[in-house]
């Protein structure tokens, strides 16, 4: 018998399945949203004026198996 949080996500479609390092695998569930990091300096640029932000698409929940 499956109970708890696992049972709750079985009926939700998963998306953005990604294999990480080695045998790690992640699944995104639920409504997508953007995770936006704070600006960083571009280390390849000699000018400190160039900055960038990392933006990721994430789900409401993430299942990480390792």
Q: Where are the beta strands (DSSP E) in the chain?
A: 14-19, 25-29, 33-36, 40-41, 51-52, 55-58, 61-65
pLDDT tens readout for residues 26-44: 999 889 999 999 887 766 6
19-23, 27-31, 36-40, 46-50: least confident range: 46-50
Given a cut of 80, whether residue 24 has pLDDT beyond it is yes
Q: Which of 23, 3, 13, 21 is nearest to 61 (CA)?
A: 13
Phi/psi for 11 (5° steps) reads -95, 0
């Amino acid at each position: 018998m499956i109970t708890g949080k696992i049972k709750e996500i079985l009926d939700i479609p998963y998306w953005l399945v990604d294999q990480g390092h080695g045998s790690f695998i992640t699944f995104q569930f639920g409504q997508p949203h953007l995770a936006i990091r704070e600006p960083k300096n571009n280390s390849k640029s000699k000018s400190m004026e160039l900055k960038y932000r990392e933006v990721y698409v994430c789900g409401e929940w993430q299942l990480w198996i390792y």
